[in-house]
Amino acid sequence: MKSDTLYKIRHSLAHILAAAILEIDSKAKFGIGPVTENGFYYDFLLSKKIEEKDLPLIEEKMRKLIQQNIKFVRKKITLSQAKRLFKKLNQPFKSELLNDLQKYGTTDYEKILEIKEKKRKVKKIKYVTIYQSGNFIDLCRGGHIKKTSEIDPDSFKLIKIAGAYWRGDEKNKMLTRIYGISFENKEKLEEYLKYQEEIKKRDHRILGQELELFAIDENVGSGLILWLPKGAIIRQTIQEFIIDLYKKNNYQLVFTPHITKQKLFQISGHLDHYRENMYSPIDIESEKYYLKPMNCPFHLTIYKQSTKSYRDLPLRYAELGTVYRYERSGTLSGLTRVRGFTQDDGHIICNFEQLPEEIENCLNLVKSVLEKFEFKDFKVSLSIWDKTRKKEYLGTEKEWSFAIESLKRAIKKIRWDYTIMKGEAAFYGPKIDVIVKDAINREWQISTIQLDFNLPKKFNLNYIDQNNQQKTPYLIHRALLGSIERFIGLLIEHYEGNFPFWLAPIQIVILPINANHLSYSLEIFSRLKEKYRIKIFEPNESLSKRILLAEKEKIPYMLIIGDKEMKESKISVRQHRVGDLGLIDLNQFISRLS
């Protein structure tokens, strides 16, 4: 099926939905009914209440209409004819649209506002088209199918009712919007629904609450994460892993404050170019201080604390730096869109010749970090400049070509697919974005490697070269995980909360069948507790209840201890999502773990 055909089907389904509504509520007033990414919706002003539970009934009515093989009849009429028609039909929203067409030559609300404000010239409209399908007549530009037999009646579904202001303006009336989805056929629809179910099951906001990983509290504020003990274990484990990696890769850890005098962000240019993402200043003794939205200016200030020579380069600073950036409250979501987050933020300061190797090191580091979290499918987008607009960029042609070549070579060496995004680079340098696929094939942009020809100059960084000359070094910003908050949000969805052993908040739970088995359980507990995160679920409740609880907590291993286990000095092991491993020796179990 051509995507154009699917578009027409979806558009036609919107009309059929309207026709079905007309059968239920003859006084219904019709707003608009466009196509969406996976279906369609229609906005109505209803005279009787319709709820989520009514959707199957409406669906049924739509199916009946489809089975009647209704035709979509297009008519071209004059604007005044149309106005008379919709007045007669008593459809005020359609009349409003026609008035707008007459006055502004468009029904696009944004465009109309712009025309009004900027007093733009208006295109004259003489004719409009209407579509009739059964009893329902709509003002509509088309495309539609010819007749409803082109629609598989099992390929669509109404999924949601929501309120929506007429034309998205809260000063207008609130209408009822009914959403539908529609696909080529029943199988595709079911596939989509199953996928949605999968996504919903993995929603980190729900799992995060169920598994007690994090909380957002109204007294603290939206977009500000409280890491509960279990979530904090995951965060701390990841941080330890990352810091260890820094050490092994000759990064130097630094710590910098969360606030700074405005002077620092004046030098860096953030107050000129990034202010909308920054919070309002704090006043200290008549000076303005800002919460940091980025760590780079601090790292460059650290570089400047002493004279540097070519022997000191490359210098690789890294920090788990918590930054605060403004996001509108409406856009905040769980861990993935927050107001405060911790970057695993690195800044490499090197000379021109060291750029290729440093970029390559960064990519290798990205690979080893992301593979640790079982991401396998990598691709890269490489944002470069638009050579034809040279003047808009900082840095010489030589610098740009060399940098872009170095990035390309590194990507090719690591054998990842890449897309070049011409003209997408920042004015101060090219960058690499690394994109991975998660367990259900969703793509996430995670790591970034950004070259910067700007900040070293702004901060007047320099080093003494072999010939005793002062030179300006180059700067690479790089983040492996990006925001640790967002990354963990993503991990929760990627793993569906079934964290691998090394990340699981509780790794092992011991279940003594009854009180007689408690002392042997404690013995095992004390043998394992040094190395593992382990818990005993004491026999206050039935074994089956406790097993269920351990399953719900997604604990990797349950050790069940009863008479038999005690007698044979063994343990019964049950692995989460695998099942019973049987009666085994404790040492055998320990060697399995390592």
Using CB under 8 A, list all residues that contact a second copy.
212, 215, 217-221, 224-229, 232-233, 235-236, 243, 252-261, 263-264, 267, 279-285, 287, 289, 291, 298, 301-302, 304-306, 311, 317, 322, 324, 326, 328-329, 339-340, 540
- The smaller minimum CB distance to a second copy, of residues 325 and 576, is found at 325
- Quote the least distance from Cβ 207 to a second copy, whole Å: 15
- The smaller minimum CB distance to a second copy, of residues 434 and 524, is found at 524
- Judge contact between 151 and 145, C-beta under 8 A: yes
Structure tokens at 302: 């650290």
**Residue in 431, 494, 517, 554 annotated catalytic:** 431
Q: Catalytic site residue 296?
A: yes
Among candidates 153, 149, 152, 157, which has minimal Cα distance to 38?
Answer: 157
What DSSP state is assigned to residue 119? T
**Residue in 43, 138, 344, 345 annotated catalytic:** 345
- The smaller minimum CB distance to a second copy, of residues 14 and 264, is found at 264
Among candidates 158, 190, 130, 159, which has minimal Cα distance to 62?
Answer: 158
Q: Catalytic site residue 345?
A: yes
Q: Catalytic site residue 325?
A: yes
- The smaller minimum CB distance to a second copy, of residues 233 and 560, is found at 233
Q: Catalytic site residue 316?
A: no
Handedness of CA 541, 544, 549, 553 (dihedral sign): positive
Pairing type for strands 378-384 and 417-422 reads parallel
**Residue in 167, 325, 554, 574 annotated catalytic:** 325
- Quote the least distance from Cβ 218 to a second copy, whole Å: 8
How many angstroms separate the Cα of 340 from the Cα of each of 265, 322, 429, 477? 18, 7, 26, 19
**Residue in 408, 477, 574, 576 annotated catalytic:** 477
**Residue in 91, 343, 354, 450 annotated catalytic:** 343
**Residue in 347, 533, 574, 576 annotated catalytic:** 347
- Quote the least distance from Cβ 256 to a second copy, whole Å: 6
CB neighbourhood size of 249 (10 A): 15
- The smaller minimum CB distance to a second copy, of residues 76 and 328, is found at 328
Q: Catalytic site residue 204?
A: no
- The smaller minimum CB distance to a second copy, of residues 181 and 536, is found at 536
Separation of alpha carbons 3 and 9, rounded Å? 10
- Long-range (24+ apart) CB contacts under 8 A made by 374-379 are 374/494, 374/495, 374/500, 375/436, 375/437, 375/438, 375/494, 376/437, 377/436, 377/437, 378/416, 378/417, 378/434, 378/435, 378/436, 379/416, 379/417, 379/418, 379/419, 379/434, 379/435
- Quote the least distance from Cβ 221 to a second copy, whole Å: 4
Q: Which residues are tagged catalytic?
A: 296, 325, 343, 345, 347, 431, 477
